[in-house]
C-alpha cells in the first residue's frame, strides 16, 4: 500500500455537491467519440482523448483530474459529462 497526499481536481455535481462516479451513468466510449466529432477535445500534453475515455468508461469511484492539466481541458471534461448524462 502506498499512501500519498496530492493535489487534484474533483469532478462533482454542483447542486448536490456529490462526486461524479462515472460507473453510475453508463457513458460509453462510443458516446464520447460521437461527442468529440462535433466538439473536439483541446490538445493537452497531460491528458489525451484516450485518457478521458478510459477515465470515464473504466473507472470506479470518483473522477479526479490532474492539477497539471490545462484549465480549458478541465472545462471540456465538465461540458462533455454534462452533455452526456
In a domain, 20, yes or no: yes
4 — pLDDT class (breaks 50, 70, 90): confident
Nearest Cα residue to 27 out of 58, 56, 70, 66: 56
Q: How confident is the model at residue 82 (pLDDT cuts 50, 70, 90)?
A: very high
Would you say residue 3 lies in a domain? no
**27-76: per-residue pLDDT in tens?**
999 999 999 999 999 999 999 999 999 999 998 889 999 999 999 999 99
Structure confidence at residue 1 (pLDDT)? 83
| Chain centroid to CA 81 | 7
Beta carbons within 8 Å of 13's beta carbon, 6+ residues apart: 19, 20
| Residue 58 covered by a domain | yes
Q: What is the DSSP letter of 26?
A: T
Q: Which pLDDT score, from 0 to 100, does residue 71 have?
A: 97
Total domains, the chain? 1
How far from 57 is each of 22, 49, 53, CA to CA, in Å? 7, 12, 6
Residue 6 has pLDDT above 90, yes or no: no
In a domain, residue 75? The reply is yes
The mean pLDDT value for 74-83 works out to 97
Amino acid at each position: 500500500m502506498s499512501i500519498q497526499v496530492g493535489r487534484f481536481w474533483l469532478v462533482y455535481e454542483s447542486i448536490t455537491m456529490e462526486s461524479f462516479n462515472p460507473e453510475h451513468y453508463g457513458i460509453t466510449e462510443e458516446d464520447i467519440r460521437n461527442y468529440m466529432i462535433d466538439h473536439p477535445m483541446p490538445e493537452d500534453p497531460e491528458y489525451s482523448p484516450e485518457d478521458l475515455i478510459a477515465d470515464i468508461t473504466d473507472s470506479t469511484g470518483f473522477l479526479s483530474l490532474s492539477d497539471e492539466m490545462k484549465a480549458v481541458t478541465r472545462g471540456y471534461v465538465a461540458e462533455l459529462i454534462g452533455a452526456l448524462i
